[in-house]
Each structure stands twice: as C-alpha cells, then as structure tokens.
Amino acid sequence: MRVGGGKIHEVGSGRPPSDAVDLGDVALLPRLVNAHTHLEFSDLKHPVGTRGIRFTDWIKLVIEQRLTADPEVKDRSIFGGVKELWDSGTIVAGEITTPPQSYAHLSSELDIISFAEILGLQDERFSERFEVGSKHCEMHPLAGLSPHAPYSISSQALEKVLQHARLLRRPVAMHVAESPEERELLSSGDGPMADFLETIGIITKPHFPWSTEPFDHLIQMLGKLPAAFLIHGNDLQQSEIEKLAKHKQITVVYCPRTHDFFDFPMHPVNAMHHQGVRVVLGTDSRASNPDLNLWNEVRFLLNVRQDIEASQVLKMATLLPAEALANAFPQLAPCGAIAAGFRDRLGLVSTTAVTQEQLYRDLSSNDYRNLQLN
C-alpha cells in the first residue's frame, strides 16, 4: 500500500518495495465509524442504573443527571468523549447534541456529525428547541436534526421537524422502537411509558395514541428525507422491517451493548440484513454503555451474536456507516475501507491467523490500535 497526503494512493500484493514498512503479524483495518453517541454524557464512569433496568426508570435517572450537569461539565465531557472516540479508533461519529454547542474548539481529526436534539411535548419547549436546532444547522455544515423519539415530541411537531430537514437537505437521526413500552404508548396511549410521562408533568391524552400501526407511518415519513438514521429499531416487527427495506435512504443504527444493558429481546438485525436494510453500529452514550469504544461493540457481536456473519459485523463498523454518512454529507473524505482514494488513517489488530476462522477469533478477543503513520 502506498499512502501520503492523508490518502491511500495504491493497494497492491506480491513482493513489497524495498522501502516498505513491515507492520508484523497484524490485521490492517480502516478506522471505525460510530453512527450514534451522545458525547455530553462522556464524563460518566459507569452507565446510569444497573443492567436490566426498566427503560422508563433509566430515563428518569438520566433526566435527573442532565438537570444537575453544569455547562462546564458538559464541555469537559464532550472534550473527553472526542478523545476517547479518537483514541479507540473512531474517525467519524454521529453525535446527538443539545445546542447551542460548538465543536470548533476541539482540535481533533475526528469528523463529528452533530444532530441537534429537538424534543418537547409542550409547545413552548418544542418551539425553543426547534429554533436553536435550526440555528445549529445554519452554523455547522456537518449537522442534522434529531427529533428525539416518538414519546418525546408530538406527531405535528415531528412533521414540522422532518419538513424542515427536507428543506435544509440535512439528515435526521431519531430514536425509534427502542422499547416495547414505546409501542404500547403509541398504539394504545397507555402503559409504563404513559405513566412515566404523567409523573414528569406531561398530560399524555392530547398526544397519544398515534395509531394501531404507529411505526408504519413513521417509516413512511422518514423515507421522504434525503437521509435518515433510525436509532435502535430493537422492537421493529417483520412487517415493519419489510416497509423499512423500501426506503434505502433510511439506515438503522444498532447499539449492541446498550441493547444488552436494557436486556431487550434479541435485536432483529439479521431480519433487517435479510430484507436488505442497511444496519450500522453505534455505541450510544456512557449513560447506557461502559465506554465509547466501537471496537468493543464489534467484539461483543463476534462473541455474543455468532448468528451474524463476522464479515458483516466488520462492515457495520466501517464501510456501511461511512456510506450512509457520505450520502448525507458528500463533502466527507472517503473512509471505512482500505482502497485507493480513501483516508490513510488505519488501525491494527494483532493476529497470527492463517485461516479466516482463526482471524475472526483473534479479532473477537484482541484490541484495536490506531496505526501511527510518520
């Protein structure tokens, strides 16, 4: 391979030139692309709550956490999160941000795609968030909008956000079908999610239920955007996955260790692959995950979800999210593969494997290190 000026120029095989650098017994990999995180929680040493916590109990604790965090802590947190992402091999990250927030002061090569979070079932809160979210997009070329989740924004407000994203030609990232309680709220207006909203002072009756098939309509709405990231999709059913497959510009983001933290039923990632839905990986935040190391998500899947093809797992952390983000932001330098024209930032995993099976075993247990080029 010949590299220089930030780019790979040539990839070849056979006898290396005399000035080639021998990297030893390693697998050479592209840097990683983390499609979903919330950097403002990066100062947390441990996830909020314990494994198996009920989703609504967790949100309650996270809201308390947010209320107590001061802006300085938030800035420090984002700074620490960016460093953690870069040091663990991530080169592009999809980040959900609470504007006003700038990333300009972070002198990092990490490309941050910041999605401005918009939420509020009450009109006043929504209007304020919508305004700062729109401003965020005007100020930052690598930004999109994030209507938080169907349980935290009204369907009319959601329409408005999606229409605005279409107008700006910016992507949207939205948490969808994360827990069974979400479906219950949207389809019946009742259940633990409705109870939770009432406890934080939201009158749910004007907003829920949506309909008996709430995700069908939502998928259709997201499908009208130039690019959309459907975060989680843990609870999507076969018929909904089939509808999702009709909209190639929607990418599902699966966060394996966060999914495991809530002990949700098995993620339908294979059914999605089978239908041709693009599924990529994210870490989510340190509020539900012990770290922001995307390679740890890869290792987790290689160990725990051996029903997913190992080569597919690697693509879900590299080429597929890079493609999805490049569709939304063509100005991003090509990454996620080792090929001519792509960024020359690479990573290494130690291995002496001589078979593919041994290689995947080594990848499932060994650390990923950034390759330092002189």
Site residues (CB under 5 A) for Zn ion?
A: 284
Q: Cβ closer to Zn ion: 134 or 146?
A: 146
Distance, in Å, from the CA atom of 275 to the CA atom of 238, rounded to the nearest integer, reads 9
Q: Cβ closer to Zn ion: 152 or 318?
A: 152
Q: How far is the CB of 207 from Zn ion (least distance, A)?
A: 21
Q: Cβ closer to Zn ion: 293 or 364?
A: 293
Q: Cβ closer to Zn ion: 252 or 337?
A: 252
Assess contact for 165 and 145: CB atoms under 8 A. Answer: yes
For the chain, report the end-to-end CA distance as a whole number of angstroms.
15
Q: Cβ closer to Zn ion: 59 or 162?
A: 59
Q: How far is the CB of 205 from Zn ion (least distance, A)?
A: 27
Q: How far is the CB of 173 from Zn ion (least distance, A)?
A: 9
Strand 143-147 relative to strand 26-30, pairing = unpaired
- Please name the residues in contact with 104: beta carbons below 8 A apart, sequence gap of 6 or more: none
Q: Cβ closer to Zn ion: 111 or 284?
A: 284
Closest-CB residue for Zn ion?
A: 284
Q: Cβ closer to Zn ion: 62 or 302?
A: 62
Q: Cβ closer to Zn ion: 215 or 254?
A: 254
Q: How far is the CB of 136 from Zn ion (least distance, A)?
A: 17
Going through 72-188 in order, the beta strands assigned E by DSSP cover 90-97, 111-118, 143-147, 172-176
Q: How far is the CB of 149 from Zn ion (least distance, A)?
A: 9
Q: How far is the CB of 106 from Zn ion (least distance, A)?
A: 20
Q: Cβ closer to Zn ion: 90 or 364?
A: 90
- Please name the residues in contact with 281: beta carbons below 8 A apart, sequence gap of 6 or more: 34, 35, 253, 254, 255, 256, 294, 297, 298, 301, 316, 317, 321
What's the maximum distance between 2 C-alpha atoms anywhere in the chain?
Answer: 73
Burial annotation 291-305 (CB, 10 A radius, 16+ → b, else e): ebbbbbbbbbbbeeb
Q: How far is the CB of 151 from Zn ion (least distance, A)?
A: 13
Percent helix / strand / coil, the chain, rounded to 5: 40, 20, 40
Assess contact for 112 and 97: CB atoms under 8 A. Answer: no
Q: How far is the CB of 93 from Zn ion (least distance, A)?
A: 12
Q: Cβ closer to Zn ion: 284 or 297?
A: 284
Q: How far is the CB of 250 from Zn ion (least distance, A)?
A: 17
Q: How far is the CB of 61 from Zn ion (least distance, A)?
A: 15
Going through the chain in order, the beta strands assigned E by DSSP cover 2-4, 7-10, 26-30, 32-37, 90-97, 111-118, 143-147, 172-176, 228-232, 250-254, 278-281, 346-350, 369-370
Going through 207-288 in order, the beta strands assigned E by DSSP cover 228-232, 250-254, 278-281
Structure tokens at 198: 């009432």
> Among positive and negative, which fits the CA dihedral 161, 162, 166, 170?
positive
